[in-house]
Amino acid sequence: MQIEKFPGVMLREADVEQGRVLTTQWQPNLKYGWDAGIAIGRFLSELKQGRIVGTKCHKCHRIAVPPRIFCEWCFKPFDGWVYLKDTGVVNTFSISYIAWDASRLEVPSIPAVIEIDGASHGMGILHLLGEIEPDPAKINIGMRVKAVWKPPQEREGAITDIKYFKPLEEGRR
């Protein structure tokens, strides 16, 4: 490259803190009200009843969760609702030491993709694991897990009506 000098002036934290450069700040105050929609609305109201529901597409021979009103593969309406189990298999997991804003967490969380029993192979949802040590040696991909629900009176029709999924001892479904 013939270019010898590259543009860009690097700032250090002290430049900002000691006011050597001028900055302006603004904190947005926005609020959104999201409609759950037809498919997820039903999904959430079933969660409130302690049930996980999916949708089936006859043409693509699959049962999907989270449910949707249309199949994104064949682009036809889904053909109906199917109750699934509240058990499943850990497809993958991680152990998070940081919160959503990159601040450190005192107690790590264990996000996981859980393939739900009764849905087609590979159909997972994002949730958390609990009642297990946050230790990669003690959690396994392929491990069977079961939903731990909030008590019925505390459920509000939200994904958090399931507190987390806990390891399932084999033989006890």
Partner 1 sequence: MGRVAVVGAGITKFMHRSEETGKELAWEAAKMALDSCELNLEDIESVVLGSAPDAFDGVHMKGEYLADGAGAWRKPYMRGYVGGGTGVFVGAQGWYHVASGLFDTCLVVAEEKMSSCLPHPQGAFLTIFDHTLERPLGPNLIWIFALEMNRYMHRYGITKEEIALVSVKNKRNALDHPCAQLGAEITVQDVLDSEVMVWPVNRLDVSPTSDGAAAIVLASENVARRITDKPVWIEGVGWSLDSAYWTNRDLYYPRYVECAARMAYQMAGIREPRKEINVVEPYDPFSYKELHHLEGLLLCGKGEAARLTADGVTARDGDLPCCPSGGALGVGNAIAATGLMKICEIFWQLRGEAGKRQVPGKPRRGLAQAWGDLMQVGTVVIMGV
Question: In terms of CB distance, is 64 or 146 closer to partner 1?
Answer: 64
Q: How many CB atoms lie within 10 A of CB 132?
A: 16
Stretch that binds partner 1, among 62-70, 80-88, 145-153, 165-173 (CB under 8 A): 62-70
CB 166 within 8 A of CB 130: yes
Strands 144-149, 124-128: pairing is: unpaired
Contact between 38 and partner 1 by CB under 8 A: the answer reads no
Strand-pairing partners, residue 165, are: 129, 147
Residue 30 beta carbon to partner 1: minimum distance, rounded to whole angstroms: 11
Contact between 75 and partner 1 by CB under 8 A: the answer reads no
Strands 80-84, 144-149: pairing is: unpaired
The residues in 98-157 that bind partner 1, with binding defined as CB under 8 A, are 98-103, 109, 111-113, 122-128, 136, 141
Contact between 30 and partner 1 by CB under 8 A: the answer reads no
Helix or strand or coil: residue 165?
Answer: strand
Can you read off the two tokens belonging to residue 114?
């859980």
Rounded CA-CA distance 124/84 in Å is 12
Rg for the chain, CA atoms, rounded = 23
* Helix H or strand E encompassing 20: none
Question: In terms of CB distance, is 116 or 146 closer to partner 1?
Answer: 116
Question: In terms of CB distance, is 9 or 171 closer to partner 1?
Answer: 9
Contact between 14 and partner 1 by CB under 8 A: the answer reads no
Question: In terms of CB distance, is 56 or 93 closer to partner 1?
Answer: 93
Contact between 84 and partner 1 by CB under 8 A: the answer reads no
Give the residue from 34, 131, 104 showing the smallest Cα distance to 112: 131
Provide the binding-site residues for partner 1, judged by CB under 8 A. 1-3, 6-12, 15-16, 21, 25-26, 28, 32, 34, 36-37, 40, 44, 64, 66, 68, 72, 91-103, 109, 111-113, 122-128, 136, 141, 158-160
